[in-house]
């Protein structure tokens, strides 16, 4: 007798094969059979008319500190996500020194650990509501080795490689970089290659937030491919976009470069989220040079009229496309504040706060008042989003953070939005391809051999959803709305979403490399 049978659904295997009507038998946390007439089970769930798919894998998330939040957090399970890759954009919760701990970005909740392994141990102690696999971040390694200095001090690179190796030994699933953020923006290509070669020794992936996603996109993508080729490492290009009006339409170039790199042997993939706005810290609009030396130096520079003018000249320098910040990508009407220490700022657009001031000066004043403020930036064109989404090398990732308000709707609804708006309504890709994009396409990059597909022998991480009902009604004004359409989710054979309701508890696993 089987532990559980999901009976009569449309089974998608996660590899892109056409859906077929089949039962799924589960025993001991794994799929043991698919087909019809599989025998008896302790529980049989009728899923006729529903899609039965492997649990979704989010390749790009910032849920690093969710295990430390009070209570279980099922916001990803309600989307069908059973596994998240965290530690993205160059930021992880460790390793940190006493000096670098204060430089951990707010999205990580100011949680820092002396060692990467210490962070993993803490997650295991707290428990996680869905599975997590963790990248070690280049920015975190760099701050531990030499703080916020632009240049590398003697021995700093060797120390970064040593710390990376310790993280890989502890169970990191790869290396990430965030090259539009400091201090990663100060790094040269050779520094990235040295760290990527360390990842290659462990057969791990390199995930990168490119040095530019706007006017410097072509060169930034070339650099990422150069790092992957020189190190012989798998490459994941994070949250692909053509950001800013000057580069709308550049998605075709981006995809051509990905395809060409793949054709010559680079194991490259990418991810995208189904939204036309991104979210990040407000300070990212400024050139990275503004932040050298830390937050106090940033405020001092912005308070100095000459330095403020020099930073603007750098941001607007037509001869430069990287190292200039995101200022040229976003017009004042494109910038909407999510969080700011001034209550009158939160929820408003930069254009509404000018009060006759020059936009650059208004921005600098607002950053000075709260260097950790963040916002939503409406800079992308729908044609680029859908073109990227359609490409076979591109999977779906949320780039979402912890479920705390205010937030971007991607945190609560990325996968239902993709399957509802883009797959069902707009038919950007067929359902079988959509399930591959949220399944095996990501699992392969991060070494999750037993997840992301649905067949005999796979871990029984399963998502069952209604293809006619799946959706997310969240908005930028009210993002934290529970999505609809996901009826059942299993983690290792355990029913954690049952008939649309969370069954409680923290039943996910920390997926350490080598122990998956």
DSSP letters, 324-354, are S-STTT--GGGEEEEE-SSTTTTT-BGGGG-
User: Each residue of 207-227: pLDDT tens digit?
Assistant: 999 999 999 999 999 999 999
Query: Alpha-carbon distance 160 to 478, whole Å?
Result: 41
CATH number of 56-279+379-445: 3.20.20.140
SS3 labels along 424-440: HHCCCCCHHHHHHHCCH
* Residue 108 predicted with pLDDT over 70: no
- Indicate the pTM of the whole model: 0.95
Q: What are the Cα distances from residue 340, in Å, to 51, 69, 240, 428?
A: 42, 22, 27, 37
Query: Alpha-carbon distance 305 to 228, whole Å?
Result: 42
**Residue ranges of the domains in the chain?**
2-54+456-470+478-502, 56-279+379-445, 281-374
Query: Alpha-carbon distance 179 to 187, whole Å?
Result: 8
pLDDT of residue 52: 98
- DSSP symbols for 285-322: GS-GGGGTT-HHHHHHHHHSHHHHHHHHHHHT-TT-SS
- Cβ contacts of residue 330 below 8 Å, gap of 6+? 244, 285, 377, 378, 379
Find the radius of gyration of the CA atoms of the chain. 22
* Residue 514 predicted with pLDDT over 80: no
pLDDT of residue 479: 95
User: Each residue of 264-299: pLDDT tens digit?
Assistant: 999 999 999 999 999 998 998 999 999 888 889 999
- Cβ contacts of residue 288 below 8 Å, gap of 6+? 180, 181, 182, 185, 186, 323, 325
Query: Alpha-carbon distance 491 to 83, whole Å?
Result: 9
Query: Alpha-carbon distance 19 to 201, whole Å?
Result: 38
Average pLDDT rounded to a whole number, residues 43-62? 98
**Residue 50 confidence class, pLDDT cut points 50, 70, 90:** very high
pLDDT of residue 292: 86
**Residue 343 confidence class, pLDDT cut points 50, 70, 90:** confident
**Residue 105 confidence class, pLDDT cut points 50, 70, 90:** low
| Average pLDDT over the chain, rounded to an integer | 95
Q: Do 380 and 243 touch, CB atoms closer than 8 A?
A: yes
User: Each residue of 418-440: pLDDT tens digit?
Assistant: 999 999 999 999 999 999 999 99
Q: Between these two residues, 100 and 91, which has the higher pLDDT value?
A: 91
* Residue 109 predicted with pLDDT over 80: no
**Residue 112 confidence class, pLDDT cut points 50, 70, 90:** confident
* Residue 101 predicted with pLDDT over 80: no
Average pLDDT rounded to a whole number, residues 25-52? 97
Q: What top-level class would CATH report for the domain 2-54+456-470+478-502?
A: mainly beta
Average pLDDT rounded to a whole number, residues 188-201? 98
pLDDT of residue 515: 65
Query: Alpha-carbon distance 91 to 186, whole Å?
Result: 15
Which three-class secondary structure state does DSSP give residue 116?
A: helix
Q: Do 294 and 147 touch, CB atoms closer than 8 A?
A: yes
């Amino acid at each position: 007798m089987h532990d559980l049978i999901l009976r009569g659904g449309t089974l998608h295997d996660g590899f892109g094969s056409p859906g077929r009507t089949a039962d799924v038998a589960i025993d001991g946390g794994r799929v043991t059979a698919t087909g019809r007439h599989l025998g008896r089970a302790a529980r049989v769930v009728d899923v006729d008319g529903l899609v039965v798919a492997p649990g979704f894998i989010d390749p790009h998330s910032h849920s690093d500190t969710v295990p430390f939040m009070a209570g279980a957090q099922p916001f990803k399970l309600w989307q069908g996500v059973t596994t998240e890759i965290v530690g993205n954009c160059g930021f992880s919760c460790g390793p940190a020194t006493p000096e670098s701990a204060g430089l951990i970005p707010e999205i990580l909740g100011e949680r820092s650990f002396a060692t990467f392994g210490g962070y993993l141990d803490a997650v295991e102690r707290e428990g996680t509501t869905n599975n997590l696999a963790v990248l070690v971040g280049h920015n975190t390694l760099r701050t531990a080795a030499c703080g916020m200095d632009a240049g590398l001090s003697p021995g700093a690179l060797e120390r970064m490689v040593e710390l990376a190796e310790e993280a890989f030994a502890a169970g990191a699933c790869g290396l990430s970089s965030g090259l539009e953020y400091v201090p990663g923006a100060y790094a040269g290509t050779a520094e990235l290659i040295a760290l990527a070669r360390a990842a290659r020794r462990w057969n791990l992936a390199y995930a990168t937030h490119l040095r530019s996603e706007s006017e410097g996109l072509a060169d930034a993508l070339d650099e990422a491919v150069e790092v992957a080729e020189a190190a012989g490492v798998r490459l994941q290009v994070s949250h692909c976009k053509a950001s800013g009006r000057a580069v709308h339409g550049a998605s075709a170039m981006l995809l051509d470069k990905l395809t060409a790199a793949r054709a010559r042997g680079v194991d490259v993939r990418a991810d995208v989220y189904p939204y036309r706005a991104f979210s990040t810290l407000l300070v990212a609009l400024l050139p990275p040079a503004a932040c050298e030396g830390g937050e106090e130096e940033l405020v001092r520079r912005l308070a100095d009229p000459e330095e403020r003018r020099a930073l603007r000249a750098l941001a607007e320098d037509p001869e430069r496309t990287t190292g200039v910040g995101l200022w040229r990508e976003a017009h004042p009407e494109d910038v909407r504040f999510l969080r700011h220490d001034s209550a009158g700022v939160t929820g408003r657009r930069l254009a509404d706060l000018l009060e006759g001031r020059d936009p650059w000066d208004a921005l600098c004043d607002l950053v000075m008042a709260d260097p950790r403020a963040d916002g939503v930036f409406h800079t992308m064109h729908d044609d680029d989003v859908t073109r990227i989404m359609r490409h076979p090398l591109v999977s779906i990732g949320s780039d979402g953070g912890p479920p705390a308000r205010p937030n971007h709707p991607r945190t609560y609804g990325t996968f239902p939005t993709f399957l509802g708006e883009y797959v069902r309504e707009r038919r950007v890709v067929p359902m079988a391809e959509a399930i591959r994009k949220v399944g095996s396409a990501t699992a392969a990059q991060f070494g999750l051999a037993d997840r992301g597909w649905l067949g005999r022998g796979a871990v029984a991480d399963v998502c069952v959803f209604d293809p006619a009902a799946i959706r997310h009604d969240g908005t930028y004004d009210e993002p934290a709305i529970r999505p609809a359409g996901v009826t059942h989710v299993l983690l290792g054979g355990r029913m954690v979403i049952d008939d649309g309701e969370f069954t409680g508890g923290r039943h996910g696993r920390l997926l350490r490399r080598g122990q998956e």
